[in-house]
Structure 1
């Protein structure tokens, strides 16, 4: 039964002439359409406001907060076992070791100290040493030796762990800190490493996706994961996964909201909008032999240390760095002509030269990032614009060895041109699966998995 208002409205319409009735109907339809459109716009606006929030909650990036290298620290290497290309990842309660090597410029040979810190998946240092170590937190670096017959003198240090004095009880993210002996605050440098349980079954694959107007497809990591039987039934929100490209831990992208599949399996999909873009190929530098050829244009031995002028790197013709770029590691001993490159390796001042797009300066600064600086460029790795030569130039002190590097800038034009000119044909992705343990009040690292994109 119609209410009074609706009934009166119907009677009023009947009293109108036909042409006015049609005019009224048209007007009402326009009003209704406007209301619907307005409501739709409000819903779309609300949806657009909510989407970034949901994305921020489910997908995020992480960077380990590490102290910068002190002056005089050179060629820091942290790798698995005796393989300089192996990522610094240990398996808990197994016999594997990590190797730390580095140089201090000068002749002041002295013992140093090393400290270990546990961190959660966000790289916040969280636990007291007694909860994550079955030993002391600190050890001494006593294996060191002065370089031999080198133009630039230096002291070479080497250290392997775990050992009889250092052991770990909890998996997760770790930070290694080297300091002056006995002074925890006199920091020389810090590096990240990982201890995994490898206690879960997982399948890691990549999906190729188009990203916006980019002509090259990107990679969307997808991880299928079955929790250990002892954890099945735990809240899915206790699990998180982070994806790392080519051993560059500072570029990790993480997922905090997995999907539940059959039989307690979980699926982590990186948000498609956060997929990894195909990168421009990195450059490689082989300084195992100091002589002209390959990448070296000219050598000035009258300078101290020796100045090595490198062939210019043109953004239109990037070089392929091979397997070095897949791990992000510097190689000193591998393939070296000397039986002991650690002590006999010379340091040279390498002058890099970079030709940008159209030989024009970029809108933002240009830096050299690579295995020599842990892919974390600082102000000392900034290149200067040479207006007369129409290129960027800069000098970096390097030890004889093999390096991967690239030129980076906040100017988006550079990255776009690098990808379009010669994309990197292979990339290595590593997945880290974390579990928030309420008892330990930290994130355990359940498993690490790798896959290759090519």
Structure 2
């Protein structure tokens, strides 16, 4: 152990004198750089369905898990990067936001047990004895191979916050007559309590995310009035979100017993294939309240003691029935399992023979939420429909950059929902 510590010190000392190879303007995202890495999960240790958001003053921890489809163990290391509110690297040096070692090895791993596809499951819990956070803000955890930082395996975003400001929220049906049946309205006021803010107009930034999605946000609104300790926002229609629809789902927790969405399962010595029943557009249907996970997913195998080690990897085929090929836009499948990204690997292809848009994805057994979406924001819910009654969650972040400071703090966070609308 002493040898490893001395190596870290030498490595950090040398790194200090090396020129930076990453542009400070790079926007860090949730990305997997290695093709055989799958099912990257980052959440609070207390809740497997949570997003990676922790209070700096509590003893909360995050757990990072991922699988590598291989039989060969690798040494993976991680480092932490502090970011600005736009997810570019902040001007803070590591000693200003981390107490502990700046580079650490991921020590915990296990081989899959009794699965057709063999994989190694890696796990890391942090903050830990080697690493504590000093300041709040946006953060990236970067995992790399064999102490070579240029060999990046994955990057994942997370949030560290504190509540120095009180957030008062209300979710209601849109006042706009034209959007009253399709949109939800956010009413918001801030109470800065005993926290002194010299210039709220320039120092405070607001970010609202529907279901914590990066493609459904409000982030450019400034307060219009400050009275005593209250910061008041008048959005004037800038506070409207399309309601969307409840998420579709499929359940692959059991291969033996078909759930309602599974049409067929083929198992052979090398692979498991799952075909789902075709989906259809819901844009012109009446709203139906369906219990969902707001786009989330959970890894689970019903017959397993430890699903993370015993769940199978399966080829899941989705299909969307559409008699005509739509040439104006591309259609993607989205959910938290896709990182909410319109990536080419999540793009559906039109099958002229079956008259369906289709895609097959390699997914670990579990329960998944998903939607279909055009890559045109004006048609974002053209397939799923928009309903004001939809039960969405809203994540609200308050960023603060004091005049003359070199980084953005997060001084307020709250999660609320639109459940009261139905």
TM over 0.5, shorter chain? yes
TM bracket (short chain): 0.7 to 0.9
Q: Distance in 2 between matches of 1:113 and 1:320?
A: 44
Q: Distance in 2 between matches of 1:161 and 1:142?
A: 12
Max radius of gyration: which structure? Answer: 1
| Other-structure match for 2:268 | 302
Q: Distance in 1 between matches of 2:43 and 2:288?
A: 25
Deviations 1:111-157 (A, max 9, x none): 21111111111111112211111122222111011101111111101
Q: Distance in 2 between matches of 1:281 and 1:362?
A: 26
Offset at residue 365 of structure 1 (A): 1.5
Deviations 1:334-388 (A, max 9, x none): x8441200100000000111124x6543521111111222112311111110112
Residue 99 (structure 1) aligned with residue 63 (structure 2): yes
| Other-structure match for 1:147 | 112
Does the CA contact (< 8 Å) of 1:232 and 1:264 recur in 2? no
Q: Distance in 1 between matches of 2:53 and 2:260?
A: 33
1:347 aligned residue (313, 320, 325):
313
| Other-structure match for 1:200 | 165
| Other-structure match for 1:260 | 225
Does the CA contact (< 8 Å) of 2:221 and 2:238 recur in 1? no
Deviations 1:404-423 (A, max 9, x none): 11111135557234215x77
Deviations 1:207-258 (A, max 9, x none): 4326685562412323211224241444432001100111224433214411
Q: Distance in 2 between matches of 1:78 and 1:361?
A: 36
Q: Distance in 1 between matches of 2:189 and 2:253?
A: 42
Q: Distance in 2 between matches of 1:212 and 1:388?
A: 43
Q: TM-score, normalised by structure 1?
A: 0.79
Offset at residue 272 of structure 1 (A): 1.0
Does the CA contact (< 8 Å) of 1:255 and 1:268 recur in 2? no
Residue 180 (structure 1) aligned with residue 129 (structure 2): no
Label 1:269 to 1:128 Cα distance change in 2 as closer, same or farther (>3 A).
Answer: farther
Label 1:105 to 1:210 Cα distance change in 2 as closer, same or farther (>3 A).
Answer: farther
User: Does 246-255 or 197-206 show the bigger shift?
Assistant: 246-255
What are the residue-to-residue correspondences of 1:25-424 with 2, within 5 Å? Answer: 65-126=29-90, 127-209=92-174, 213-214=178-179, 216-273=181-238, 275-290=240-255, 291-302=257-268, 304-316=270-282, 322-325=291-294, 328-333=295-300, 336-356=302-322, 359-411=324-376, 412-413=378-379, 415-419=381-385
User: Does 341-350 or 270-279 show the bigger shift?
Assistant: 270-279
What are the residue-to-residue correspondences of 1:4-19 with 2, within 5 Å? Answer: none
For these two proteins, the number of residue pairs brought into alignment is: 387
Label 1:74 to 1:423 Cα distance change in 2 as closer, same or farther (>3 A).
Answer: farther
Q: Identify, as 1 or 2, the structure richer in helix.
A: 1
Deviations 1:19-63 (A, max 9, x none): xxxxxxxxxxxxxxxxxxxxxxxxxxxxxxxxxxxxxxxxxxxx8
CA RMSD of aligned residues (A): 2.4
For structure 1, which runs of at least 5 residues remain unmatched after alignment?
1-62
Offset at residue 293 of structure 1 (A): 3.5
Q: TM-score, normalised by structure 2?
A: 0.85
Label 1:167 to 1:68 Cα distance change in 2 as closer, same or farther (>3 A).
Answer: same
Label 1:147 to 1:251 Cα distance change in 2 as closer, same or farther (>3 A).
Answer: same
SS at match of 2:228: helix
| Other-structure match for 2:409 | 444
Does the CA contact (< 8 Å) of 2:397 and 2:413 recur in 1? yes
